[in-house]
Amino acid sequence: MNTTTLTAPSPLGPSGSATGSPPGLAPPAQGPAAHAQAQAQAPQRRDYASLRIVPARYPARTAGTVLSLVLIAAVLSSVLGNPRWGWPVFAEWFFAEPVLVGLGRTLLLTALGALAGFSIGTGLALARVSHSPLLRALSWTFVWVFRSIPLIVLLLLLNNLGYLYETVWIGVPFTSIGFAEWSTTQLITPFMAAFLGLTLNQAAYSAEIIRGGILSVDQGQLEAAAALGLPRRRQAFRIVLPQAMRSILPAAFSNLIGLAKGTSNVYILALPELFYTIQIIYRRNLEVIPLLMVATVWYLVILTVLSVVQAHVERHYARGALRQLPPTLLGRAGVWLRSRTAPAPRLRSPAPQAAAAAPPGAAWAQREHTGGQVDVHGVSKSYNGVKVLDQVSLQVPAGSVTVILGQSGSGKSTLLRSINHLERLDGGFIAIDGELIGYRQHGDTLYELKEKDILRRRVEVGMVFQNFNLFPHLSVLDNVAEGPLAVQGLPRADAEQRARELLARVGLAHKADAFPRQLSGGQQQRVAIARALALQPKVLLFDEPTSALDPELVKEVLDVIQELARSGTTLLIVTHEIGFAREVADTVVFMDQGRILESGPPGQVLQSPKHPRLRDFLAKVL
């Protein structure tokens, strides 16, 4: 069994000489003659420090700003200059005690309704996307009923619930065993009816908002989380919901603002919230417009506060989704103020770039890795009646490198996903070191494992996806540390230490705090490799790891895989890189129409193919 340890990348180039050149570039020429030639060809340096920057000007934008200011001034003049608005009366009642008490009740109903409504809505949304038909049906029925009933009708029904049921009883259904009992009319006060009505109405709408956010998350994120063996609850609350928040937040805050204004509907219950209190006051003093303006301005204050909170919450969840976070309101004010007071900016001569220190990766590199033997026996898989895998059998020795070739649609990726049990097999079975994937053997009987048991067993099989499938809302460090932290139960310090060692191993220690969207494709794929290695798997699967990369980024990923090939981990690689397969593979497998047509050492399969279909394939790709 191959137990070669991983070693840190050598600072020597292909010829063995030291080089500081970027990967794929030859080292610069040396010697006096080359130096003189470089000086002659270099452009003359120029000192830019004395030059002043003049920002670009946009006449149309300036004209639009002036027009906006004129319109704002006209509206303010009309509103503030008209005595019929009754601003003295407005000022008298704006901070009056009855108004503030009503405002407090409005805020309390909004807070309680939002908290309870979104909590119930989250559960309903998760039920709607669950695999249980009964849960889906119950959730759909709840949403259907409470979105259909107008809020005022719902409030009146709840307030008159005592007419239908004299008592509220808690106990064991269909028995006489009871735990508590209350009079309905005493329990369902106007405030309780308002709270229940707003909560039920809010839950129905928030459930659909949250469900829409969940559906917006790419399916590959769930597959990547499942491939790490994360439990389903952690998949939902750590991976899916944080990413869904970017889609959820705008609609959720709009719904929350609607809830704050919708509390005015509880006037039907004679509950003295803000709007009902205003009604009582203007019916006594007949100052309708000034009192309505009091309510209007307080609703504007509530809306403004919620909008500021929304901006900051959206900014928080934008981490990893945007290359640069939008500035906060205070940040924008500071930028504007500095632009008005600071002297005109000047260009600076570029400072010499410091050489990056080689990241330490020795701790991980010195550990031994033992691969696992993969046995594929008569595996079959169909989609909608189309057979994708047809009685596939394959044995992959421990510590070996197997490259799978074939045209698109030949079943290569499905075979890999079957080894990781991301695809449920129609027939056959797969074992790693004699232990079946997805099943438990008892005598002559195989029992399919539950999802939580499959997730635990997937720890032995890492997977690197074609499109990376990094978690965009987590930093590079958290992407790599998530598996050891959640699945293996490592303390955060140990999980982060392992992650840093692996990032150093793939040459990305300096990107630990970056987010995936801030990386190039090659860097993202190297992070995906580090993430898969973090669980120290026996088998590592690569599903076309370079197909989504630009040609100049392919080499940096292949270099990492090539070094992993010497590490002792069993590698199965689906790729179209024939030269790479010839160089690193122990075995090359050719698939076509869901079957393995030929396999063997690369020298035999690639240079002397026996099957005519393989000869045709090589003639097209070489």
Q: Return the C-alpha torsion angle 232, 237, 238, 243, nearest 10.
A: 120
Q: Quick one: three-class SS letters along 70-86?
A: HHHHHHHHHHHHCHHHC
Q: What is the pLDDT of residue 45?
A: 41
Q: Is pLDDT above 80 for 77?
A: yes
Q: What is the pLDDT of residue 347?
A: 40
Here the tokens at position 16 are: 């063995």
Q: What is the pLDDT of residue 180?
A: 86
Q: Which of 215, 298, 197, 278 is nearest to 251 (CA)?
A: 215
Per the model's pLDDT, the better-predicted residue between 39 and 372 turns out to be 372
Q: How confident is the model at residue 52 (pLDDT cuts 50, 70, 90)?
A: low
Q: Is pLDDT above 70 for 393?
A: yes
Q: Is there a contact between 23 and 323 (Cβ–Cβ < 8 Å)?
A: no
Q: What is the pLDDT of residue 335?
A: 59
Q: Is pLDDT above 70 for 5?
A: no
Here the tokens at position 172 are: 């064991």
Q: Is there a contact between 377 and 418 (Cβ–Cβ < 8 Å)?
A: no
Q: What is the pLDDT of residue 106?
A: 93
Q: What is the pLDDT of residue 194?
A: 94
Region 142-165: what's the mean pLDDT? Answer: 92
Angle at which helix 521-533 crosses helix 551-564, to 10 degrees, equals 20
- Measured CA to CA, the distance from residue 492 to residue 489 in angstroms comes to 9
Q: Is pLDDT above 70 for 26?
A: no
Region 80-94: what's the mean pLDDT? Answer: 89
Task: Give, for 17, the enclosing helix (H) or strand (E).
Answer: none
Q: How confident is the model at residue 37 (pLDDT cuts 50, 70, 90)?
A: very low
Q: What is the pLDDT of residue 363?
A: 40
User: Please, what is the average pLDDT of the chain?
Assistant: 82
For the chain, the maximum distance between any two Cα atoms, rounded to a whole number of angstroms, is 103
Q: How confident is the model at residue 20 (pLDDT cuts 50, 70, 90)?
A: very low
Q: Which residue has the tokens 């952690």?
A: 234
Q: What is the pLDDT of residue 146?
A: 95
Delineate the domains of the chain, giving CATH numbers in brackets.
83-318 (1.10.3720.10), 375-621 (3.40.50.300)
Region 409-426: what's the mean pLDDT? Answer: 89
Q: 208: buried, middle or exposed (CB in 10 Å: 19+, 13-18, 0-12)?
A: middle
Q: What is the pLDDT of residue 124?
A: 95
Region 261-271: what's the mean pLDDT? Answer: 88
Q: What percent of the chain has pLDDT over 90?
A: 41
Q: What is the pLDDT of residue 35?
A: 42
Q: What is the pLDDT of residue 435?
A: 85
Least confident of 25-29, 226-230, 439-443: 25-29
Q: Quick one: three-class SS letters along 90-157?
A: HHHHHCCHHHHHHHHHHHHHHHHHHHHHHHHHHHHHHHHCCCCHHHHHHHHHHHHHHHHCCHHHHHHH
- Measured CA to CA, the distance from residue 618 to residue 616 in angstroms comes to 6
Q: What is the pLDDT of residue 277?
A: 92
Contacts of 279 (CB under 8 A, 6+ apart): 267
At residue 541's C-alpha, the angle toward residues 538 and 546, to 5°, is 140
Query: Mind listing the pLDDT tens digit for each residue in 541-571?
Result: 999 888 777 777 788 888 888 888 888 889 9
Here the tokens at position 258 are: 């609607």
Here the tokens at position 264 are: 């005015």
Q: What is the pLDDT of residue 583?
A: 86
Q: What is the pLDDT of residue 56?
A: 63
Which residues are paired to 407 by β-bridges? none
Q: What is the pLDDT of residue 383?
A: 85
Q: Which residues of 552-570 are buried (b: 16+ CB within 10 A; e: fewer)?
A: ebbbbbbbbbebbbebbbb
What's phi and psi for 594, nearest 5 deg?
80, 10
3-state helix, strand, coil in the chain (%, to 5): 55, 15, 30
Contacts of 102 (CB under 8 A, 6+ apart): 272, 273, 274, 275, 276, 277, 278
Q: Which residue has the tokens 């909170």?
A: 309
Looking at residue 415, its amino acid is L
- Measured CA to CA, the distance from residue 568 to residue 563 in angstroms comes to 10
Q: How confident is the model at residue 48 (pLDDT cuts 50, 70, 90)?
A: very low
At residue 147's C-alpha, the angle toward residues 145 and 153, to 5°, is 85
Q: What is the pLDDT of residue 421?
A: 86
- Measured CA to CA, the distance from residue 351 to residue 104 in angstroms comes to 58
Region 378-386: what's the mean pLDDT? Answer: 87
Here the tokens at position 441 are: 């053997």
Q: Is pLDDT above 70 for 524?
A: yes
Q: How confident is the model at residue 412 (pLDDT cuts 50, 70, 90)?
A: very high
| Integer angstrom CA distances of residue 505 from 25, 511, 527 | 21, 12, 10
Least confident of 128-137, 358-367, 492-501: 358-367
Query: Mind listing the pLDDT tens digit for each residue in 310-365?
Result: 888 888 787 776 655 666 666 666 656 665 565 544 444 444 443 334 333 334 33
Here the tokens at position 348 are: 């600076």
Q: How confident is the model at residue 54 (pLDDT cuts 50, 70, 90)?
A: low
Q: Is there a contact between 459 and 537 (Cβ–Cβ < 8 Å)?
A: yes
The alpha-helical segments, DSSP class H, found in 487-577 are 492-505, 521-533, 551-564
Here the tokens at position 555 are: 């080499």
Q: What is the pLDDT of residue 170?
A: 87
Q: Is pLDDT above 60 for 128?
A: yes
